[in-house]
Amino acid sequence: MKISTHLVSAPLHTPFVTALRTATHADSLLVEISDGSVSDGSVSGWGEAPQVWKVTGESLAGAQACVEGPIAAALDGLEPDDLTEALRRVQNAAVGNFGAKGAVDVALHDLAARRRGQSLHNFLGSTVDTVATDVTLSVGDADALATAARARVADGFDVLKIKVGTGDARADFERVRQVRAAIGPGPSLRLDANQGWSRRDAVTAIRAMEDAGCDLELVEQPVPAADLEGMAWVTDRVSTPILADESVFGVRDLVAVIRYGAADMVNVKLAKCGGLGPARTLLELAREHGIQTIIGSMMEGPVGVGAAAALVSAYPTSAVNDLDAAWWLREAPVTGGIRYDGALIHLPSAPGLGVTGLTA
């Protein structure tokens, strides 16, 4: 197998603002793995490692070094059809580096599906070719959020995620209240604090929204990732389900969340856990312990989101998933792949992820 890497930066049509950062581009490392079967007719699989400093702490340079160094060395000489052994070697090639591992894991799955002439979701055992996603409203003042919310509902989205946790719980309350008033009772509202509240501010804000009839579906990561005791304290004191995101990268993290009773739900992301293989383990573990699940994405493109959507197709989750990242792109860095139609993501019928190459 031959491994190549490509650094890409795709512009967003609208700045993406959270409590942690402001993004105008989606910066990623694309990994291409070729089977090298025929000099002029080899098949390639694709994977993506997004750069998200504030969540994973991994850089594109680091991911590239990991892919081209220890992971490439671990896969050297291995036949492309030995997927199980390849995935094992990827996970054991280095400590951490989950974004790099995730990109190679997805590329290997994509390659295996393509060599069999199957779409990735078919390869994973599914015949479902559409999955639903929410859409995120960037951090902004109450009026701007209300306007954006109406626009997204008009675009066909019926699950909206509001970024809160900006340091002013009272302002967060007003933003959410005005969004609910703007869109009416039909669409679902979920909040993402991105670790931005203290435990007391989280309880105060969530209870106020509950009392005001804001009708929240869930609140994601209300407190700092390491504060599982604090998140459990919040979970025990509010009626709205609490979703763990930054607190859970791998199995040990999820086990800790379960032991603390820290959250009702967990957000599984390929770039956090290291790919499709580890993600399936997390989903199964969560279900065994009564933890609800969704699958999310970082700020990434059609490769990363396409892989996550294929996983959703094969492993249905407890709620609408958080896979709008590629919808924000003004220009995609690759040709082919998934297609958005309002809140629906259409999975390709072409082999693998349906990606045919880099854009010119």
Q: Where are the domains of the chain?
A: 2-116, 123-358
Compute φ and ψ for 152, nearest 5 degrees: -70, -35
Position 19 scores a pLDDT of: 61
pLDDT at 144: 87
Residue 137 and residue 192 in contact, taking contact as beta carbons nearer than 8 Å: no
User: Is the pLDDT confidence value at 346 over 70?
Assistant: yes
Residues designated catalytic = 163, 269
Q: Which pLDDT score is estimated for 57?
A: 84
Task: Please check the confidence at residue 39 and state whether its pLDDT lies above 60.
Answer: no
pLDDT higher than 80, residue 17: no
Per-residue pLDDT, 37: 59
**How much is the average pLDDT of 323-347?**
96
Q: Do domains 2-116 and 123-358 have the same CATH topology?
A: no
176: pLDDT strictly greater than 80: yes
- CB-count exposure of residue 299 (10 Å: 0-12, 13-18, 19+): buried
Say which CATH class 123-358 falls into: alpha beta
- The CATH superfamily label for domain 2-116 reads Enolase-like, N-terminal domain (3.30.390.10)
Banded model confidence at residue 36, pLDDT cuts 50, 70, 90? confident
